[in-house]
Chain A
Amino acid sequence: MDEKKVILKVRNLTKEFKIKSHKLGEKPQILHALTDVSLDVYQGETLGIIGESGCGKSTFGKCLVQLHKPTRGSVEYQGENILGLKKGEMKNIKKEIQMVFQDPFSSLDPRMTAGKLVEEPMIAHKTEKDRKSRSKKALQLLQTVGLDIQHVHRYPHEFSGGQRQRINIARALALNPKLIVCDEPVSALDVSIQAQVLNLFNQLQRQYGLTYVFISHDLSVIKHISDRIAIMYLGRIVEICRAQELYENPLHPYTRALLSAIPPESPFEKRERIVLEGEIPSPIGEQKGCPLAGRCSFCKERCRNEMPGLCDRGDGHQVACFLYESK
């Protein structure tokens, strides 16, 4: 784990959206979706990214696959900054970084059959030029993800949610990628299907040595897939550490509150809940101080004025909170 190769190096990634003002002559406001996100993804690991809706986790995923153009910062893939690349060079990188989307219902073109959908990446990158070998490979891929020959000519609406997500995975695998960004791939699925798909992700990782960036809002789901976990709040990473460490020894007050809010595992369990007062503040406008300052019970004067940076607490456990800074 320690001496692993860094496959993706993200530094100070910032994404701001401009919101046009309705009033004439007023300056557009800025929505801070991502602020100074820096992290490393190691080869062959799964980095889980956790956060509540609106915390910027999806924006982060989309920045990695170039669906959004970041405002500042760099994304280095195997030592090469991919943000400033030309189209031709980009195409090669696109082959290696794929994405699985959240909604299995809208992420497949309704007018294409499963087979065609899986063949498409091969056509786009001309990896399999011959039609026969292409459809053969498509079938192979569908079989890898647990579908079969009778599914090849079916349309997306003829599949269940879990099966569609399998098609999505097969599509992502078609180009032999190294890194797959998974944006909440199981949150739209039922429990029993969710477990199947999670196991499939794990199995494929072992089989092909894949690296995942796995975005989710569910702490118990992400435990089953992640080696390391990053917690995001309001566009920033507040804590990042090994998965085990996060559940055994959460440091950041937000992480603790998040863990305590998870519903119990049995009718007998009564969990002490750490209540966060109020709601997530708006990411629009100037951001000052710790994003959690208004809701945190440990909040001090300093938290309101200064943004704590990520500091290492040993063994790669980083946390952005003044509580742990000096010690």
Chain B
Amino acid sequence: MSKELLTVENLKTYFFTASGVSKAVDGVSFTLEKGQTMGIVGESGSGKSVSASSIIRLLPKIGKIVDGKIEFEGKDILKLGKKELLNFRGKDIAVIFQDPMTSLDPVFKIGNQMVEMICAHQDISKKEARAIAVEALKKVGIPQPEKRMDSYPYELSGGMCQRVIIAMAVCCKPKMIIADEPTTALDVTVQAQVLELLQELQKEMNTSILLITHNLGVVWKMCDTVMVMYAGKTVEYAAAETLYRNPMHPYTWGLLDSMPKLSDKVKEELKTIPGTPPDLRLTGTGCNFCNRCPYAEEKCRAEVPPLVEIEKGHFIACHRQNKTEKLARGEGKKNG
């Protein structure tokens, strides 16, 4: 059952701007198994969205994949031709973007957009495609799907739009769905509905989901494995339960601590990570977290920490956390 679907190895995507090379993704490795959900967590600018765009090779002109390997079912994605790539996107991988209102073309009816997409990937008539589309809309819980086919995107609410996009994503039965902050633009009650819908569909079709989010709560709800990214790098990668019970990287600690939680006391001071993330044009000479890390040493500034497997399935990139040396959470505050 557990078989690798997507393997990403040491992916590096750089942006070549006029003011320097921005290392948007600078060493990301993970594997996604069939039917599993993996979460990528990180702050804005940590490279989580660029990683996803690299996987479907949909990068802006100035962005280039300079190193690494992306394998999908054994195929090397980086070697695909234009035609194969088009087939790969949409048919093998579907993408759900953050802003539901802008991912649908406002001048076409929803039905037409869906039919067009289905026909592009499957050799069937428009009528059949329409039937598939209606079925998909029904599946995502849209009332009166036949009627909704003739609606324009602006006639629907944000939550409904996101459902339509999910319907579009699933109607070609993709093996994998990349969901890039699918619920960030939605209200909490709608977010819960959309996430539950994704879970149901996944169970039914045995798809893998790559969920990109900055909300750890969403990760706990959805994901089997989690990758924490910081300034373009994988800093920690483990099963969700392991990451919650036994986080190892100082950044993960900071992230977990600075999340406002419902169980906190009223007006309680939040723990913070001091400082701001580094500029991506300046990273790469040491551990990217060293300027904010209370445990940082000379070595952290001078050397890039490698990603090592510390226990089975638990990867971490930190000089001070490995088999020989162990840090205690909360201890570094004194010298910090």
Task: Indicate yes or no for A touching B, C-beta below 8 A.
Answer: yes
Residues of A at the B interface (CB closer than 8 Å) are 46, 52-53, 160-163, 190-196, 198-199, 202, 217-221, 223-227, 243-244, 247, 257-259, 261-269, 273, 275-276, 279-280
Given contacts A160-B276, A247-B262, contact A227 B267 (CB under 8 A): yes
21 A/B residue pairs, CB under 8 Å, sorted by A: A160-B276, A160-B277, A191-B258, A192-B43, A192-B272, A193-B43, A194-B258, A195-B260, A195-B272, A196-B274, A226-B266, A226-B267, A247-B262, A259-B262, A261-B188, A263-B217, A265-B261, A267-B240, A267-B244, A268-B244, A280-B157
Q: Which residues of A contact B223 (CB under 8 A)?
A: 267
A221→B221 CA distance, assembly (Å): 19
Verify A52–B187 contact, CB threshold 8 A. yes
- Which chain B residues (259-278) contact chain A, with CB distance < 8 Å? 259-264, 266-274, 276-277
Q: Name the one of A190, A199, A243 contacting B266, with C-beta atoms under 8 angstroms.
A: A243
Known: A192-B254, A261-B192, A267-B240. A218 touches B157 (CB 8 A): no
Identity of the chain B residue whose Cβ is nearest the Cβ of A205 in the assembled complex: B267
Which of A46, A162, A217, A276 interacts with B276 by CB under 8 Å? A162
For B240, the closest partner residue in chain A by CB is A267
- Contacting residues, chain A, for B244 (C-beta < 8 A): 266-268
**Complex Cα–Cα for A52 and B187 (A):** 6
The docked-state distance in angstroms from the alpha carbon of A193 to that of B274 is 8
Query: What is the CA–CA distance of A280 and B260 in the complex, to the nearest angstrom?
Result: 27
Q: Check if A265 sits within 8 Å of B220, measured CB to CB.
A: yes
Using A261-B192, A267-B244 as known contacts, say yes or no to A53 and B260 having CB atoms under 8 A apart: no
Given A191-B214, A192-B255, A193-B276; A265-B262 close (CB under 8 Å): yes
Known: A53-B187, A218-B260. A190 touches B160 (CB 8 A): no
| A162 to B217 Cα, complex, angstroms | 22
**Total inter-chain residue pairs, C-beta < 8 Å:** 126
Check A192 against B258 for contact (C-beta < 8 Å): yes
Q: Across the interface, do A198 and B276 meet the contact criterion of CB distance under 8 Å?
A: no
- Give the 3 A-B residue pairs with the shortest CB-CB distance, closest first: A263-B217, A190-B43, A195-B258
Question: Given A202-B269, A269-B220, A261–B189 Cβ distance below 8 Å?
Answer: yes
Residues of A within 8 A of B217 (CB): 262-265
Contact B259 A191 (CB under 8 A): yes
List the B side residues contacting A190 at CB < 8 Å. 43-44, 214, 277
With CB as the reference atom, state the residue of chain B lying closest to A229. B266
Task: State the CA gap A242–B13 with chains docked (Å).
Answer: 49
Contact between A263 and B215, CB atoms less than 8 A apart: yes
Asked if B189 and A221 sit within 8 Å, CB to CB, the answer is no
Q: B interface vs A, CB < 8 Å?
A: 43-44, 157-160, 187-193, 195, 214-218, 220-221, 223, 240-241, 244, 254-255, 258-264, 266-274, 276-277
A220 CB → nearest B CB, Å: 4
Q: Which residue of chain B is the closest to A50 with respect to CB atoms?
A: B188
B260 touches A199 (CB 8 A): no
Report chain A residues within 8 Å CB of B266. Answer: 223-224, 226-227, 243-244, 247
In the bound complex, do residue B276 and residue A163 qualify as a contact, i.e. CB atoms below 8 Å apart? yes
Q: Are B261 and A199 in contact (CB under 8 A)?
A: no
Query: Complex Cα distance A195/B43, Å?
Result: 13
Chain A residues within an 8 Å CB radius of B269: 199, 202
* Chain A residue at minimal CB-CB distance from B156: A279
* CA gap between A66 and B321 in the complex, in Å: 54
Which one, B157, B260, B276, contacts A279 given CB within 8 A? B157
Instruction: Give every chain B residue within 8 A of A160 (Cβ-Cβ).
Output: 276-277
Give the Cβ gap from A124 to chain B, nearest Cβ, in Å: 30
| A residues less than 8 Å from B190 (CB atoms) | 52
Q: A190 vs B272: C-alpha distance in the bound complex, in angstroms? A: 11
B262 near A223: Cβ-Cβ < 8 Å: yes
Q: In the docked arrangement, what's the CA distance between A311 and B174, Å? A: 53
Contacts of B273 in A (CB 8 A): 192, 195-196
CA distance A292 to B181 in the complex (A): 29
Q: List the B residue with the shortest CB-CB distance to A53.
A: B187
- Chain B nearest Cβ from A147, distance in angstroms: 11
Report how far A267 CA is from B218 CA in the complex, Å: 10
4 new A-B contacts at CB < 8 Å, known A46-B267, A221-B260, A243-B267: A195-B259, A259-B262, A264-B221, A267-B240
A228 to chain B minimum Cβ distance, whole angstroms, is 10
Q: Which residues from B are CB-within-8-Å of A269?
A: 220
Least distance between A173 CB and chain B CB atoms (Å):
20
* CA distance in complex: A160, B45 (Å): 10
Contacts of B189 on A, CB cut-off 8 Å? 52, 257-258, 261, 276
